[in-house]
Amino acid sequence: MIDAVIPVWKPIDWTSFDVVKKIRGQIKPAKVGHAGTLDPFAEGVLMLCAGKYTKKVESFMDKEKEYSAEIQLGIETDTLDPTGKIVETSNIPHLTEDKIKGVLNKFTGKIEQLPPMYSALKVNGQPLYKSARKGINIDRKMRTINIYEIVLINFTHDTISLKVTCGRGTYIRSLAKDIAAQLNTVGHLSRLIRTRIGEYDENSCVELKDFPKWLSART
């Protein structure tokens, strides 16, 4: 039995539950939960809580999160990420650093955001993604989120790379769509890395292949 907080570096193409299942299988009978889903196409810090620390999941979900993100402009997908089907394309206006920074400033602070249909958020007890897969669009309420900082890292004629520091409940996919709209085009989130949760960053994380060694050092 192990009681621990386990920051794991989630690889691309794994669901958050895949990671939980993998770790749970190695530390039975301890309970394991995660503090905040990370989409399969994304990689980065995933906080797992085992044993008595599963009671602290909520407190970890409240921690500040930091992401490295890339927005692909001119193409929108139904999932708002690279795994979805293209639903709209648009011309991309000429981009300048000042124009992009002017738009990003509109998304700093407390803002209203519409959660994406392809998300685990439950409406009337049903995860939205289940309705989305059936082609059903559910009315969703705007939610107040907190974006502490958005830093422009780089841009090309059709991509924007950002560092986003935000609070709980932020969907970076929705942010990508909304930023693209403010630039008078469409877009989707083409790459996402969660680089930090609170004080936990990549240097704090254990990779899945190294977990048996991590575990043996603590048991």
Quote the pLDDT of residue 35: 84
Domains: count for the chain: 2
Kindly give the residue spans of alpha helices, DSSP state H, lying in 52-118: 57-61, 97-105
Question: Catalytic residue among 3, 39, 178, 201, which?
Answer: 39
Quote the pLDDT of residue 1: 64
User: Average of pLDDT values for 27-48?
Assistant: 88
- Are residues 176 and 187 located together in one domain of the fold? yes
Would you give the DSSP letter of residue 127?
Answer: E
- Are residues 152 and 182 located together in one domain of the fold? yes
The confidence band for 115, taking pLDDT boundaries of 50, 70 and 90, is confident
Q: What is the pTM of this model?
A: 0.92
HSE-up of 30 (CA within 13 Å, CB side)? 25
- Are residues 37 and 81 located together in one domain of the fold? no
Quote the pLDDT of residue 129: 74
Listed in sequence order, the residues at least 6 apart from 140 whose beta carbon sits closer than 8 Å to its beta carbon are 114, 115, 117, 121, 123, 128
Question: Looking at 90-94, 108-112, 175-179, 209-213, which range is the least confident one?
Answer: 209-213
pLDDT digits (tens, 9 = 90+) for 51-87: 888 888 888 888 999 999 999 999 999 999 999 999 9
Beta bridge pairs of residue 193: 43, 68
- Are residues 150 and 58 located together in one domain of the fold? no
- 62 carries an active-site annotation: no
pLDDT digits (tens, 9 = 90+) for 165-195: 999 999 999 999 999 999 999 999 999 999 9
Note if the bond before 212 is cis, omega within 30 degrees. Answer: no
Would you give the DSSP letter of residue 137?
Answer: P
* CATH code of the domain containing 11: 3.30.2350.10
- Nearest by Cα to 118 from 104, 128, 108: 128
Structure tokens at 63: 């921690």
Q: Strands 43-50 and 187-197, how do they pair?
A: parallel
Please say whether the beta carbons of 162 and 150 come within 8 A. yes
Kindly give the residue spans of alpha helices, DSSP state H, lying in 39-167: 57-61, 97-105, 128-133
- Are residues 84 and 151 located together in one domain of the fold? yes
- Are residues 17 and 116 located together in one domain of the fold? no
Residue 127 has pLDDT above 70, yes or no: yes
Neighbour count for residue 34 (Cβ, 10 Å): 22
- Nearest by Cα to 173 from 127, 125, 121: 121
Q: Which domain holds residue 71?
A: 65-197
- Are residues 193 and 203 located together in one domain of the fold? no
